[in-house]
Structure 1
Amino acid sequence: MRLLLTSDTHLPKRAGRLPGPLLDELDRADAVFHAGDWVDTATLDLFEARARRLVGVYGNNDGPELRARLPGTADVELGGVRFAVVHETGPAQGRERRCAERFPGRDVLVFGHSHIPWDTTTDDGRLRLLNPGSPTDRRRQPYCTYMTARVEDGALSGVRLHRLPRRR
């Protein structure tokens, strides 16, 4: 099963449109995770129309219309892997411990907010934390990013961070 992980699209404030490579992945993925800060409903509409399966949450920049359509946290099991999705996890220091306590029994946590790609596991190795960064707003990062991964034989594999070309 092919996965697309993204967050913090911030349309149309941070970019006029989504990058082509992200849209290509959206069409290829069996499941798409969006960890919030959509900002406009048109982006959610686009993801809902094109994704085979969408798992999304709202973020701190999402207004009442998006909050009415999306949960603050989401849980889903795909191919034997238990996922949680949330927008914000707090400061980097202590994140793994806090998230292990907040999301017991999950294998993977997809989150956003910082626009900083993140890929770690808790000390006990039970929970993997993934932040795909942002495909439209790199903030202090050198590139805009998103992630892809696979679920195979009941495990997450092939996690890859994709750097997008700089916009002109």
Structure 2
Amino acid sequence: MKIVVVSDTHIPKRAQRLPSRLLHELRSADQIIHAGDWQSLEVYEQLKQYAPVNGVFGNTDNEDIIRVFPDKKIVNVNGFKIGIIHGHGKKMTTVKRAFTAFNQPIDCIVFGHSHIPYLKYKNKTLMFNPGSATDKRKAPFYSFGILTMSDELHAQHIFFKSK
């Protein structure tokens, strides 16, 4: 099972389209997770042409997106519980807000908001921020993520230079 993980696409504000490097990886995706700040339902329409999409809304998303997606969600994939949340809010860091948002054991929490790629275990939960494929801010590269699952859960970032 291969899940392509994206967040903070900010289309059309930060980019007019999804980058070709991401589109290449989407061709072999079994599922897609978007952790918010889509800014346009067209992003969802494009992603769902590749594979089923699970997602949440972010702090810059409009009412059209908020009507379609929740603020947080748990999906079960191949026996793994994956929590999805954008991670915005006040107090605490983005990582801590994402971690404390779920009141049950979760194998992996996918979050966004900071645009900073993150991959670390907190207790027994894999915390995974794919970064942004369209708005790297001060980071040297654009990025997105891939979760692969069989008997194990594996996460990796894909870094690239141009969108």
- Report the equivalent of 1:15: 15
Give me the identity figure in percent.
34
Whether the 8 Å CA contact 2:98–2:111 is kept in 1: the answer is no
Q: Secondary structure at the match of 2:39?
A: coil
- Report the equivalent of 1:3: 3
1:166 aligns with 2:154: no
Q: How does 1:30-109 map to 2 (within 5 A)?
A: 30-51=30-51, 53-88=52-87, 91-92=92-93, 95-96=95-96, 99-103=98-102, 104-109=104-109
Q: Secondary structure at the match of 1:43?
A: helix
- Report the equivalent of 1:140: 138
1:87 maps to amino acid: H
1:156 aligns with 2:150: no
TM-score of the two chains, using structure 1 as the length reference: 0.88
For 2:130 and 2:40, the matched residues in 1 are separated by 19
Give the Å deviation of 1:89.
5.3
**5+ long unaligned stretches in structure 1:** none
Whether the 8 Å CA contact 2:86–2:98 is kept in 1: the answer is no
Whether the 8 Å CA contact 1:89–1:111 is kept in 2: the answer is no
Cα 1:149–1:109, aligned 2, differ >3 Å: closer, same or farther? same
For 1:29 and 1:145, the matched residues in 2 are separated by 16
The CA deviation string for residues 142-164 of structure 1, in whole angstroms up to 9 with x for no partner, is 111001121011x212x221112
2:105 maps to amino acid: G
Give the Å deviation of 1:139.
0.6
Q: Kindly tell me the number of residue pairs found equivalent between the two proteins.
A: 160
TM-score of the two chains, using structure 2 as the length reference: 0.91
Give the Å deviation of 1:166.
2.4
Q: Secondary structure at the match of 2:54?
A: strand
For 1:70 and 1:101, the matched residues in 2 are separated by 20
For 1:144 and 1:28, the matched residues in 2 are separated by 20
The CA RMSD measured in Å over matched residues stands at 1.6
**5+ long unaligned stretches in structure 2:** none
